[in-house]
């Protein structure tokens, strides 16, 4: 039987909508007043690690003390083991990153109550694709990267989805009582971008966003098919991407307007994302 957490009322003040996909079977409730806090493990890449946001607890992984897994864990009173790592791929879930870091899945054990996973973008090499679409001049003075880049991403995403499904099943094996949540990537550009504020043409911004949308859809489908929950950060962040006003921005663009790595969630995005994830875990 899975352990479903029910924390004290008022423990989370969610500031954005929570959208949750398939849920697993009803499970044991957690009494927030219990002496032992729930144990939470965060797996994934830089979208969860929070590179350059406030204090970094791992410069190898560019992982922040205030990333959304940390915010979520503090909100629900969980004891967190955070092994998220910037640049991680699905191979790092089962293999040693840099040759010396333990596989991320090794952090999951029989006593784990909650597992969050955000991964897949680096398998698709999106960290290279995005900067390759930057344009120094406005259209039509150049070539849209979507016009010459082969769009094989749907098939690639299918392959990545199978690897993530294997990871979810591994979590179920290692921690039979844990609640597992696949957490989406935030929204970056929406459908039009904002050239030249962010130097990606509208046609390419829409195309790049469609790849992230397809990856998020795959995460949702994998969750539904493998006894996990899906937590949607893309929908509530839709109006808070790289083109949003500075004070409303959750995700930075090429030139960050607050402390964060380019094209990653900033401190506000991590706070809001953490509140959403905490609300989903509590429900």
Q: How far apart are CA 179 and CA 280, in angstroms?
A: 11
- Is 46 noted as a catalytic residue in this protein? yes
CA distance 277 to 117: 11
Half-sphere exposure of 248 (CA within 13 A, CB side): 10
Q: How far apart are CA 270 and CA 276, in angstroms?
A: 10
The SS3 of residue 169 is: helix
Pick the catalytic residue from 46, 64, 184, 237.
46
d(CA 281, CA 283): 6
Residue of 172, 181, 240, 264 marked active site: 264
Q: Give, in order, the Cα–Cα distances in Å from 139 to each of 40, 158, 208, 215, 249.
A: 47, 33, 17, 28, 26
**Is 170 noted as a catalytic residue in this protein?**
no
Residue 147 neighbours by CB under 8 Å, 6+ apart = none
Cα–Cα distance, 45 to 66 (Å, whole number): 15
Express the helix, strand and coil content of the chain in percent, nearest 5 each: 35, 15, 50
Q: Active-site residues: which are they?
A: 46, 264
């Amino acid at each position: 039987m899975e352990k479903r957490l029910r924390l004290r009322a008022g423990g989370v003040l969610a500031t954005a909508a929570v959208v949750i996909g398939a849920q697993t079977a009803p499970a044991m409730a957690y009494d927030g007043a219990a002496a032992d806090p729930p144990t939470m493990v965060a797996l994934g890449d830089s979208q969860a690690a929070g590179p350059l946001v406030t204090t970094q607890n791992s410069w190898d992984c560019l992982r922040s003390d205030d990333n959304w897994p940390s915010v979520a864990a503090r909100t629900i009173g969980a004891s967190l083991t955070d092994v998220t790592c910037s640049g991680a791929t699905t191979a790092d879930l089962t293999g040693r990153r840099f040759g010396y870091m333990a596989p991320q899945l090794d952090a999951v054990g029989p006593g784990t109550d909650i597992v969050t996973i955000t991964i897949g973008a680096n398998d698709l090499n999106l960290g290279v694709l995005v900067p390759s679409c930057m344009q120094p001049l406005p259209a039509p003075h150049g070539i849209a990267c979507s016009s010459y880049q082969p769009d094989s991403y749907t098939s690639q995403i299918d392959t990545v989805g199978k690897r993530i499904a294997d990871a979810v099943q591994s979590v179920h094996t290692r921690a039979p009582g844990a609640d597992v949540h696949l957490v989406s990537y935030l929204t970056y550009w929406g459908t039009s971008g904002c050239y030249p504020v962010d130097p990606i043409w509208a046609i390419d911004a829409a195309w790049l966003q469609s790849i992230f949308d397809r990856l998020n859809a795959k995460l949702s489908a994998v969750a539904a098919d493998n006894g996990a929950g899906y937590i949607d950060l893309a929908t509530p962040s839709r109006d808070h991407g790289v083109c949003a006003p500075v004070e409303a921005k959750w995700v930075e663009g090429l030139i960050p307007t607050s402390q964060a790595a380019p094209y990653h969630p900033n401190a506000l995005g991590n706070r809001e994302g953490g509140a959403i994830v905490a609300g989903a875990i509590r429900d």
